[in-house]
Structure 1
Amino acid sequence: MTMDFEHTTLGQRVIFGTGAAAKKIAAEIDRLDAKHVMVIASDSASEKVADFDDHFTVALWHREVVMHVPAEVADRAVAAARDKDIDLVVTVGGGSATGLGKAVALETRVPIIAVPTTFSGSEATNVWGRTENARKRTGIDDTVLPTTVVYDAELIRDLPGGLAVASGLNALAHCIDSLWGPRVDPINQALAVEGIRALNEGLPSMRADSTDLDGLERTLYGAYLAAVAFASAGSGMHHKIAHVLGGTFNLPHAQTHATILPYVLAYNAPAAGDAEQRMAGAFGALTALDGLQRLRSAVGAPTALADLGFTSDDIAQAVELSLPAIPANNPRDVTAEGLTALLTAALNGSDPAALN
């Protein structure tokens, strides 16, 4: 790649450290001089926020968190925030909680403190999403970029092993898509390659119950780098397909990303040139696909869209909706026939190497 590019670095404060998340949040609330704080956390995150009242005053607890941010759920959260004159949102959870916080920020223009409990990466991007009439719509607005992110591996120790793996592979998808995204540049490529290295090291070292703090910290670090690269490079082929599968067919977010990733990589790799070689190097493998498949085998990754509720009858619609959204700079031309073959292979969990 020639050194002729424009790169935007998003402004954000990142606080990384294990333990005492509530104290760190309280300090940020004071720094931002917020008076009416809304905490968005699902019921499953109740234990993670149990000590918040000991450190700062919460004006509104909001626990209706739903995958893919349905429009009606977002509208209720916005109305609740306005009713309480909220001037700061604290989100605790995965991409769904962060996404709901972004929906509130988009409409009210209040800042966000994001406290991730998965590796979704939404906390480090200015991308928002909203699902309405079975279609997931996304956009970019700097207002939804969390002002501060608090990373605390203690809050992820109880993440179920299967979800930890899927979420970590979702982060890996951010890295891989960033290497050929519509706004790809050498800076986000460098971040993405380092993210792959960190995730490749961190994910296998985590135990089934996610109690290995070293693995969690490495994976959090890699997920953050992945998200920063992705925010700069933009959504590539992988994410355009995943948004259709999630928004239209209501497939689980992280598991869907984890499942289709090797198929998108296998499809693009022959035409990806230097990007493929850099991925392979980060994995410590001869090819990027070999490295990804070795990692997926080590962590027990999901393998087939059929296991997530996708069917052969859904493929034609998924192709129709995905095809026009795939960026023109994708390394390899994408046709309806090629995308059909990709989704058919992912549906059945076939060997992705056959797509090369």
Structure 2
Amino acid sequence: MNPLALESYDYTLPKEQIATTPISPKEAAKLLVFNRKDSTITHSTFKDFASFLPKDTLLVFNNTKVLPARIYGKKLLTPPCDSTNLQACNGAKIEALFHKELGDNRYLMQCKGRLRVGHSIGFTKNIFARILKDSSELGAGFKELEFFTIQNNTRILLSKDTFFSFLEQFGHIPLPPYIKRDSTKADKNDYQSVFAKCLGAIAAPTASLHFSKESYQSLQQTFNTTEITLHVGAGTFMSVQAENILEHTMHKESFFISKDSAQKLKNAKHITAIGTTAARTIEAYARHKAFLSGEELSGECDLFLHPKNPPKATNALLTNFHLPKTTLLMLVASFIGLEQTLSLYQEAIAHNYRFYSYGDGMLIL
């Protein structure tokens, strides 16, 4: 089995094991524990999560907060003006998914609908967008948009705060595409960790979804903990296309590690990453010169962990079960190897674990 071949990361999952809603209470979710020292497998639940951890471990959580990043509008057939009536507009429906801020009221978004440079989209509350660049330059359905409103037939660009307030008020939680339903009000809470505070992700760090306020506080009282920030992007879930995974171009995601967190990471004897996004951030930091001095760090993370690029600083990993042929599955394999990863996935399937974002979890020790 070739760990560099894309086809090696494929597996078959029964559709009924794709979780479309979270389990309640959170602590009732299943937990598969794999201990690398003796290759033992334990089937448990998150109620007993803490009992498997070394007492001296540092728990690292990703405190990113998911934006209601999916918005709906209509393509405008004429330039927008004060009298534009979106309800009467006969342009096609447009779905837009925010990816990241580019600066100067420019935003990278993925749009469904036929749009070219210069086209406009009308949203609710007299909010409009204009296409500055399209997929011919950006690829994969991506567009570069600017947002504005109209007053006295004059275009006024939205401030950053107004744009994000618009998303918060009218946007929808961007559930992953394998969840075949519209997002609901419940998803605004369910698809958000209890420690989320730094707005900017368009996907949840899903291993974090297993913790209630009570269980998170209990972990803080029992273990040394810290929070880092990695704003999860849609690229996290994208399938790898290159037949040789080393030819895959990794997506970039913004991250931040504070001075306090940096010092804790530098001094830790044992580190447990709560989720793949936390692991990627830790490992990106461990490969930077700032790690030696324990200095804060921010930037864009495009680190690709796989069996030929294993972790250097992370000792244990809590993770959900991931889609085939994704960098997330390859990251798990970077900890325990490809064959062991696929074996554990078959074990989870046989024991009826729930997979993907709202599914159960696995702890690698």
Q: The TM-score by the shorter chain falls in which range?
A: under 0.3
**Larger % of helix: which?**
1
- Relative contact order (alpha carbons < 8 A, sep ≥ 6): 1 or 2 greater? 2
Q: TM-score, normalised by structure 1?
A: 0.27
TM-score norm. by structure 2 comes to 0.26
Give the number of the structure whose residues are more often strand, by fraction: 2
Structure whose alpha-carbon radius of gyration is higher: 2
